[in-house]
Structure 1
Amino acid sequence: MSALFPTYQRWDLEITHGEGAWVTARDGKRYLDFIAGIAVCNLGHRHPKVLEAVHAQLDQVWHVSNLFQNSLQEEVAERLVQHSSGDRVFFCNSGAEANEAAIKLARKATGKWKIITFEQSFHGRTFATMAATGQDKVKVGYGPMLPTFVYVPYNDVEQLQQAMDQETAAIMLEVIQGEGGVNPGDPSFIQAAEQLCREYGALLIVDEVQTGIGRTGKPFAYQHYGISPDIISVAKGLGNGFPVGAVIGKEQLLEAFGPGSHGSTFGGNPLAMAAANATLQVIFEESFLQDVVAKGEYLKKQLEARLAGLPGLQEIRGQGLILGIETSFEVAPLLAIMREKQLLTLGAGPHVIRLLPPIIVSKEEMDEAVDRIMAAWKEYMN
């Protein structure tokens, strides 16, 4: 009998150790990890530079609250603004908190209430971010949602144009929908969203919780699209496994987030900042990001070449090291077979296999993953 609420459909698997792209279960079996904590451990498990930074901070101070100056926060914030369209940063603890802050900031800065989001989006499970999410399954049983949000089909410029008006505070989008099926935005759609924001005096919020911090081969995925968001939310990969989130905003938003306007007891604590600082030092190096681009191209080509002709294969899509394999069948049983073959993957909706390996993954590890996917697929079909 568990003392936990059964909010997760847990697998019969407990991970006790991890290193790089591999994890070890309690029974001693080693698994190739193509989940990375759901795009969290971008540098793999127990990356030496992150481990060293957190160990050093553990010997100094863990928590003092945001009543005090924090030079580590300043350093991490500077790295984030140097590599984004933003100028100011607010630190919190998770992606949902970052999106909550982004929603509050947009409404307060514009004085308007309406926020347009998209079908199949996912922005979190707090009350506001649940309401922002364009998937009904996360809202079941919670009663009426907040009326702030209007939902539009993704990649549909015409319907987005129709939804815009003078009461629109922001458009909030993922440039690649992660939980919704690894759905990349069309460049023309993403750019049209930015232009509409400019025309109507609205703000463009880009949710980079899953796609940010190097996963697509750039610091942030929106940078593939030639746009300049007003607000960027980030978490997951920011601390490489240590809980941390952030909102990055432009200078024009400074007055909206003045003293007393928002806060977080644990946000930007010294341990989280030590982890984030070390993570960004590694990932934001240009040569490192170029290597991620090459790895993403290699993995996608291998999947396209070797899975071609397999029954049920519909499409392979994504960018960098966030890839989706769409099938004509429900993928849950196939994911279970992959686990039996000691490869960890997850779904993105009922018909998409989502691959999120650590972005330090090697060519040999990618080849091994493709081998195990093929073997599992063939077993499933027999």
Structure 2
Amino acid sequence: MRVLLSTYGTRGDVEPLVALAVRLRALGAAVRMCAPPDEEFTKRLEGIGVQSVPVGLPVRELMRGKTLPSAADLARYRNDLVETQFATFPAAFDGCDVVVAAGLGQIAARSVAEAAGVSYLYVSYAAVHLPSPHHAPPPRPGWPEPEAADNRTLWELDARNVDVQFGEALNRHRAALGLPPVSNVRDHVLTDRPWLAADPVLGAWPETPGLDVVQTGAWTLADERPLPADLAEFLDAGSPPVYVGFGSMSPAEGVGSMAVEAVRAQGHRVLVSRGWADLELVDDGDDCLAIGEVNHQNLFREVAAVVHHGGAGTTLTAARAGTPQVVIPLQLSDNPYWAGRVAALGLGAAIDAPTTTVETLGSALRTALSPDTRARARSLGSRLRTDGAEVAARRLTAESL
């Protein structure tokens, strides 16, 4: 069996497919992946023996600034990505039996697969990306924010925005491939039977007519790396610190320093993860340590709380560790959704990113650090699954035989 995996985004978009690739290869499948050309992704795929097919611009370059690119720049990036996909995918898909596409940005994947006679499957990492009257669409930067009172109407407006951005280009390329036009780009990409790679306890799919969602559990791998020596020494030198990090995202100006101040005010030491934003320590106090990319599965079991942006991977890793969370969600993709899940499940607190202050952070930390929150986090952590990628790989191979 030959499988093509495809996504475009940050580490949180790539790593779940890495986990699936490892499980597929263990079952004897041949795997290649279309991914951004960032060096860290290329090396990651080389490390697991998966051929990397670079598509699009390096994502880290797009995420470098403190703010997202302008609406005009985002529209241009999206259009260029579609053209690049239609140019690159035919050769990448050649000889494959099935294509697994992750993310709405995979506009060309289904059409190229259809033209090549290859099976196509779409996967989402969060329920909020799939249309349902039970939740509103996620924020899509650069597009007009739909204004409506009910979720059904919001999803209809969301579909129109997707059509405005991608409709002409998609149907132009479909015509060149001898394929009929599509009238709803978003639902064409998603299909009526998408997969959901999210934990059913942490982020369950609300049953919705018209979508036959297959929820497999989150796609992750066990991380066996030891913690760096300086980090291990810091952890051993005092009480559990609070972790502050925003992964591939850049928080608003000053949020990192406010978080450090708020943590210190609660009497805790601080770990600052530099991340793609290259966060720095606010001073050289011995109660703070700046760290690079480390094993979060090990680290989060050793900290008092995790302050982060609401990425699916970070939320899941902290929840599995049984560690309380404070989420400062960027108004981007699934970040607000995961912030809401953390608050709803009583695993910590979520605060409004644009109005974040030391005071609001302090209040959120008091909630997260309370004994009741710690008990709920530990209880829920013991119920989360770790076999999602294995379940998905076995199901994929069985359905594709």
TM-score, scaled to structure 2 = 0.31
**Which structure has the highest strand share of the two?**
1
Q: TM (normalized to structure 1)?
A: 0.33
Structure of higher RCO (CA pairs closer than 8 Å, 6+ residues apart): 1
